[in-house]
Amino acid sequence: MILILYQTFLLKELSISMFIFFITHFILTFLSKKHHKKLPPGPNGYPFLGALPLMGAMPHLTLFKMSQKYGPIMYLKMGSNNMVVASSPSSAKAFLKTLDQNFSNRPLNAGATHLAYDSQDMVFADYGSRWKLLRKLSNLHMLGGKALEDWSKIREDEMGHMIHTMYDSSKKNESIVLPEMLTYAMANMIGQIILSRRVFETKGCESNEFKDMVVELMTTAGYFNIGDFIPILAWLDLQGIERGMKSLHKKFDALLTKMIEEHVASSHKNPRVKPDFLDTLIAQSKQDSDGGEKLTITNIKAVLLNLFTAGTDTSSSIIEWALAEMLKNPNIMKRAHEEMDRVIGKQRRLQDSDIQNLPYLQAICKETFRKHPSTPLNLPRVSSEACEVNGYYIPKNTRLSVNIWAIGRDPNVWENPLEFNPDRFLSGENAKIDPRGNDFELIPFGAGRRICAGTRMGIVLVQYILGTLVHSFDWKLPNGVVALDMDESFGLALQKKVPLAVVVTPRLSPSAYIP
């Protein structure tokens, strides 16, 4: 009886919500037609839901196909929200450079609320003094050029551990699940910078659980959640997304709380000679408010969450895709080996200083950024004011999504875009293209003031780790695996649907594998 009453109540509430939505939608549609504003072209969508049902499991691919029909700037009604999608270098430049300031904030969504401590982090925070402080501290102590030089020894030591482990596996002819190995190494690199210690002493259940949590977060946060686009239905959580986010947040919060508490306790027992990044954040939280912006413990947890998740998963996925493409194209692997043997030799491991002398490795990295960008759809932005782009009217509070994946596959920009061909970046105008956000043909990290804070770090990690792995080993698929699965799994980061498992064979002097 209680269940029947509850179901009746839900149906009544849903009916009222839908009635309110239709009335609001009718009024807004009438007003927009009355003012004769020319919106960009796009699909009509469905009543109440708009284009949401059209997105499917692979929104980046769906939006790419739509752009081929409607053009590089599209307008979609997504529930009660306006959304505009840019799918070409010129349209991306118009939004992310010319109109950068107008699109400097993020729209509210469940991921920001339930995963990112209610937008208290760097990724989702409003553009303002708090966000600027978090970016400044992160660049100064971890993500900027000088900071990256300062922790080069940490990268070198951790890669020593990683290739030594892989070397031992090769002697036993054991296959390696590459993304698990990469996450373990990268989490330990980041842990040493932030906490002055490795997060995982040994690879195993704990590190694999962390990897699963990171993938779940990046996948869940990328979902097109009905409640984000039809707020009056958010409380129903029709897809169960918010329940999953809340559960995952509890796990991460417990892990981050433990990290901070152990760090504070250890600093009292053994004061550090040089403060690490967490020391810097904690010091900022104790600063008097009249002396500058003051951080809260929630801000600190949120920033750590950004760095440990995006810092491991995005770079890991790029390296995994690069090696998968090289396994599919053995000639590319052969050319990379030849270049490295000529520049580095076989008596030692690759060093950071070698990368500038390895143009083919750099071209492989750029080609992977193009074909497999870690973030297929940039994190959404929202217009603060109404504006005009290419003669089209963009209303206030319109969500902006730049289809980075589509730009990399655009046949008007790239010759044979589906082919993995590093040579395209070795000569001509393409050789000058850089992935740091100024060349809109290649913006894997976004562009403008909300460009990914870890752009420099991402490029350094991908080049150094990929280069070290390729130089150190010959690669093949495990026995019995005939074809390499290259299917994608959509999320904030574009994962390989089937994690890459490989068997490696050492190709350097044995002394190069000693950590």
**Residue ranges at the known binding site for heme:** 452
Strand segments, DSSP code E, in 57-168 are 73-78, 81-86
Q: Concatenate the DSSP letters of all residues of 219-264 into one string.
A: HHTTS--HHHHSGGGGGG-TTSHHHHHHHHHHHHHHHHHHHHHHHH
Provide the pairing of β-strand 488-489 with 81-86. unpaired
Task: Centre a 10 Å sphere on the Cβ of residue 153 and count the other Cβ atoms it contains.
Answer: 11
Q: What one-letter code names the amino acid at 156?
A: E
- Give every CB contact of residue 250 below 8 A, 6+ residues apart in sequence: none
- Give every CB contact of residue 439 below 8 A, 6+ residues apart in sequence: 432, 433
- Give every CB contact of residue 393 below 8 A, 6+ residues apart in sequence: 37, 38, 39, 386
Token couple for 5: 């009453």
The H or E element containing residue 303 is: helix 297-328
Binding site members: 452
The H or E element containing residue 428 is: none
Task: Centre a 10 Å sphere on the Cβ of residue 90 and count the other Cβ atoms it contains.
Answer: 13
Task: Centre a 10 Å sphere on the Cβ of residue 360 and count the other Cβ atoms it contains.
Answer: 18
Give the residues across from 381 on adjacent strands: 400
The H or E element containing residue 476 is: strand 473-476
Token couple for 36: 């004769």
Distance of CA 17 to the CA centre of its chain: 35
Q: What one-letter code names the amino acid at 230?
A: I
As a residue count, the chain comes to 515
| Cβ atoms of residues 484 and 383 within 8 Å | no
> Residue for token digits 């070290």?
468
- Give every CB contact of residue 229 below 8 A, 6+ residues apart in sequence: 50, 52, 78, 79, 80, 81
Separation CA 301–CA 120 (nearest Å): 9
- Give every CB contact of residue 5 below 8 A, 6+ residues apart in sequence: none
Q: What one-letter code names the amino acid at 490?
A: F
Query: Which DSSP state fits 142?
Result: I
* 393 SS3 class: strand
Rg for the chain, CA atoms, rounded: 24
